Amino acid sequence: MEKPDNCILVIFGASGDLTSRKLIPSLFRLYKQDLLPDKFVVLGVGRTQLTDDAFRDRFREELSSMKDVSKNSKNPRDFLRMLYYCSIDTKDPEAYHDVKDRLAELDKEKETNGNYLFYLATSPSMYKITAESLGKFDLHKQDTQNQNTHKKYRRLIVEKPFGYDLDSAKKLNSELHNVFDEEQIFRIDHYLGKETVQNLFVTRFANGMFEPIWNRNYIHHIEITSCESIGIENRGKYYETSGALRDMVQNHLLQLVSLVAMEPPSSFQSYSVRNEKLKIFESLRAIKDEEVAKYVIRGQYGASRIRGENILGYRQERDVSKDSRTETYVAVKFFIDNWRWGGMPFYIRTGKRLPTTVAEIVIHFKATPHKLFQKIGIDESCNQLVIRIQPDEGILLRFGMKVPGAGFNVQNVSMIFKYSELADVYLPAAYERLLLDSMLGDSTLFSRGDSVIECWKFVEPILRAWENDPSIKLYGYPAGTWGPEHADDLIEESDMTWRYPCKNLSDSDSYCEL
């Protein structure tokens, strides 16, 4: 891997959960693999009063106990020395002068050549004021004409949610663009950093056997599932204003749709890949207000008893309204109106408190045009290609084989590849790849502003219909089940239904229940 140029990563919200759970551990793993710049600094910024040493102490024990991902002898103490902290009132624009001064001091001492990345690990309400305050002190300015080797850059990394609806997303785009150019903004979606998601590019475009049949002529339908066995985990205030549609469909699932459905890019450069993804978002057939009840199923988990444990229903969770109509499950049927996919249905679903935590893409190929063996009473199921994103990452291909013996009994069998079977191969966490790419300036796996807006355009009619039409039902489902049974009605063929995956990819034929 190419090593990034020397730089300083500034984390706003450095005393928060995201920094401790994801960002610092991911940076440490990059350090252990010798993938960080030769001269690298992390400057944490927050309202919590901390010294540099106190900030480092927050991570000392966890980093020392982390499983080694390399065979080098790099010590956590050396990594911790890269961490610094600056305490300011982040709501006061004038306070950002202290950040500028500290950056200038560290930049001179560590020789990072003026390269700064600003990571907004804060509440979305802070995005505008942080960006504007950085602009107030010219911290957004980078070299555009300088042809020297050490041409400095300034980049802004933004976490989801990127807006609450279409109007707020447009407003946020405008506010950020008032300070930073689009090429400086890296909108992070951790799903796109997963190794198996990136492998979609290789599966599709490096194998001649797939691309000729990757279209409506040979594929019956495509389904994408991302579900969790956990509930909202004391995040009632956030989830009440979000729900499954905003939290998962608008970003993660539609991003996966774009990778499955996009045309081959002219090159693997960022602009080429993201241009093809944009075309998919622009081709999503809008679901009209009067069609929402037909094409979208929403549900909310209720109380249940699982393996002897009483599970609260969503409305009994902390900070949740007793008459809440927030969806914890959503399934959508939709179409992409272009030459490759015209008329072929896509299905996506996501939910909380389902039987297992799993994310996967399933390509359902069309049955043979002449069901030769069905004439003698043999069931001929459609072939499937299953791309497992998490857990038990891998790829499964299902097809029919003759059972040994007399007659023509057909049985579905599976060919499976699992990443876990690759000995001595480290599967990096999503944030590792995305942090490294942001340092390298590679925006391929990040969302572009125009794509975000197109995704909001697709979900906006659904949100509007739910808000304005009380006749659209919110279905209940017991915690630990696969959601409302009405979701099966989205797949209209009588002999087809959703795939019900288990945690272990090898056990995928069974109906997985807790």
The domain segmentation of the chain, as residue ranges, is: 7-159, 192-362+448-499
Res. 427: pLDDT tops 80: no
Which has the minimum average pLDDT: 62-71, 205-214, 224-233, 317-326?
62-71
DSSP annotation of 472 reads S
Mean pLDDT along residues 466-489 = 94
Mean pLDDT along residues 143-147 = 61
Helix (H) / strand (E) containing 170: helix 166-177
Which among 107, 156, 139 has a CA at the least distance from the CA of 7? 107
Mean pLDDT along residues 414-422 = 81
Mean pLDDT along residues 38-60 = 94
Residues forming beta bridges with residue 306, ordered by sequence position: 309
Q: What is the pLDDT of residue 495?
A: 75
Which among 233, 423, 228 has a CA at the least distance from the CA of 314? 233
Q: What is the pLDDT of residue 390?
A: 86
Mean pLDDT along residues 477-505 = 87
Residue 45 phi/psi, 5° resolution? Answer: -130, 130
Interatomic CA distance for residues 43 and 10, integer angstroms: 5
Res. 67: pLDDT tops 80: no
Which among 206, 205, 155, 198 has a CA at the least distance from the CA of 429? 198
Interatomic CA distance for residues 196 and 389, integer angstroms: 5
Residue 82 one-letter amino acid: M
The three-state secondary structure class of 296 is strand
Q: What is the pLDDT of residue 514?
A: 37
Q: What is the pLDDT of residue 150?
A: 62
Res. 343: pLDDT tops 70: yes
Whether the CB-CB separation of 414 and 396 falls below 8 Å is answered with yes
Catalytic residues: 252
Residues 6+ apart with CB under 8 A from 498: 223, 225, 347, 349, 482, 487, 488, 491
Mean pLDDT along residues 61-86 = 81
Q: What is the pLDDT of residue 512?
A: 45
Res. 149: pLDDT tops 80: no
Mean pLDDT along residues 121-127 = 93
Interatomic CA distance for residues 455 and 277, integer angstroms: 11
Question: Is the pLDDT higher at 493 or at 220?
Answer: 220
- For tokens 């499950």, the residue is 329
pLDDT digits (tens, 9 = 90+) for 12-40: 999 888 999 999 999 999 999 999 999 99
Could you tell me the pTM of the whole model? 0.90
Which among 69, 74, 73, 71 has a CA at the least distance from the CA of 426? 69
Residue 349 phi/psi, 5° resolution? Answer: -150, 150
Q: What is the pLDDT of residue 513?
A: 41
Structural Rg of the chain based on CA atoms: 25
Which among 367, 402, 395 has a CA at the least distance from the CA of 381? 367
Report percent pLDDT > 90 for the chain.
68
Interatomic CA distance for residues 504 and 355, integer angstroms: 13
Q: What is the pLDDT of residue 332?
A: 97
Which has the minimum average pLDDT: 141-150, 244-253, 460-469, 490-499?
141-150
Q: What is the pLDDT of residue 486?
A: 93
Domain 192-362+448-499 in CATH 3.30.559.10? The answer is no
Average pLDDT, the chain: 89
Interatomic CA distance for residues 131 and 2, integer angstroms: 29
The three-state secondary structure class of 327 is coil
How do beta strands 304-306 and 345-351 pair?
Answer: unpaired
Which among 258, 242, 250, 241 has a CA at the least distance from the CA of 204? 258
Q: How confident is the model at residue 510 (pLDDT cuts 50, 70, 90)?
A: very low
Interatomic CA distance for residues 84 and 103, integer angstroms: 10
Interatomic CA distance for residues 130 and 358, integer angstroms: 35
92 backbone φψ class: left, alpha, beta (φ>0; ψ -120 to 50): beta
Which has the minimum average pLDDT: 127-131, 255-259, 391-395?
391-395
Token pair of 183, please?
Answer: 């090429």
Sheet with strand 83-87: strands edge to edge: 83-87, 40-46, 7-12, 116-120, 154-158, 185-187
CATH class of 7-159: alpha beta
